[in-house]
Structure 1
Amino acid sequence: MLKRMNSPRKIGPAAAVPAPPPRTTPSRCPPLPLEIWTQIMRTLVHNEDLPEIWTSLRLLSHTLKAAVETAFVDEHLSRLRGWLYVGDPAHAALRSHPSAPPAGGGWIRRGVRESKRIVPLQLVLTRFSPDRRRAYFESLVHRDDPSLEMSPSFVECTDNTVVAEWLRSARGIPPPGARPTESRLRLTIGPDVAWTHWKHHVIGSDGFVVESRNITFEDDGHGVVEDRDMVRDGERKKRGKAAHAIGLEVDRSTCVVSLEWTTLVSSVFARPRKTFGEAFHSS
């Protein structure tokens, strides 16, 4: 018995330790098909907080990013109200000496110098680049009637300043605390002019601006673009980014415009809100 007690103890096999269960990280985006998420986003892109929704949801996942962008294209970009300013062919026909314009770009008619005039052509979305980063817009009248010829006078307007605005509007004069009923994206490419609806707060015949976000992309070839509200003590300041920031390409010979549309939208949504009352007091 003592011999057994003094003998070394036999060590049996170690008890098996159960492996800890694998840790699972909850998915940020439930596994729904992209089509379902896109249908959900088609509702959200009409929310008055779309600028914040656009910024936040596109950072959560590739699925939500694709869904938000697809919904925005269907609900807003395809309905964009855009204009491309071109030289006025009717006015150009009045020149008596087209081969010898006077200094300063004016024209002579009946002994009186006339200023060069421009007209807007409405733009519509026509296609995307293969990676869908670049959107192409063309003249509505030329798209609907391909037999129309492009006027050589179109290219006489060379200003490619871009003014983009995100507008929310209401029907009739909005009372205090009224919620907007419509949102839209507006775009103009050409000489930078103040929008008349900011002076009169009107969109169409019965819509009034409730809120706006706007940004100016300066024409790279025209240097500094002045803003009367931003000129202080004789100092000239730029109003916005350069047009190449959105990859702007303008071809007035074919009335086609292309740009990186997601960069444009993100830039507009990053601008501060301007309410109806603020616009009224600043006009």
Structure 2
Amino acid sequence: MPDSPMSASAYDVLGVQASATEVELKKAFRRALRETHPDTGGDPTKFAAVQDAWDRVGTPEKRRRYDAGSRTNTHSTTAGSSPFSSRPSTAAREDSRPRARTHGHPGGWRRERFLDSMREWVGRGVTLDDPYDPALVRSAPREIRRTLADALAEEATARTVSNLGIGYTIWHDVSTGPPERKLDHIVLGPTGLFAMLSEDFGGEVKVRRGELIGPAVAPEKPMHELAARAKSISRQLKVNFTCFVIVVPDDALAQPQISLGTVKGQPAVVVRQSVLAHLLRTGPELGRGRDIGGNELFDVRTRLTSGIRFVE
């Protein structure tokens, strides 16, 4: 069960309220095991989710830590911290290799939108001590949780691409008109120019007829929307994108990466977060990508640096 605002809580998976007693929690766990066990016709994925949920709240100590917001099996948070509040680390790195050039604030616009929405939702006059409190976030409307989930997804992508090396340049939160129609990332490197969105739809995504589908996928045609935004940058700055990429959580995609064919004349790919760096280093697999370098790379970088505007 990933640490995402869009994920079902451990209590949701077990089918109980967060206020359930220890006895009620154990009964719910046993019942859920019986209902989802593969040997009795249950769903193996749901069975694994039940076991994971119990591993998080199955003892008083684990439950206390879970309710306080920490995760005992994740490296992204420390004990007692909210899994939803972490930002890209600014701590000194042990790795001394040069990092990619980065511009803009990944996830910044959605972070601000989330905070504004949370304040409006709790109401005027109510003190919001910690807008990232896990219990508060889980109780918020889906639209608010989705905003935070996407901010976290953008920040995760930013951490990945920043480690690509000095040969890459990245722009985050790029304006293509209204803020909600931004490009989350533009990545320029030796394998080409990539327009990217980082999305957490809160569920599994599949591919059909060159587009992402799924019960939680919104907007309805995210890849075509990405292509339209990228094309506006192409027309404005006279650059050609090599590939359109949508990045999703690892558990949202059945394969490491799936080609969507071509969208508006360019290769389009949906990729797991964990294999994004490989895609950007090797390029798309549709035969349309080509290495760029020297004067061409310098010219494209100059045009983007001078012409890109960031969302406010």
TM-score (norm 1): 0.29
Q: Bigger relative contact order, structure 1 or 2, given CA contacts below 8 A and separation 6+?
A: 1
TM-score (norm 2): 0.27
Greater strand percent: which structure?
1
Greater helix percent: which structure?
2
Higher radius of gyration, 1 or 2: 1
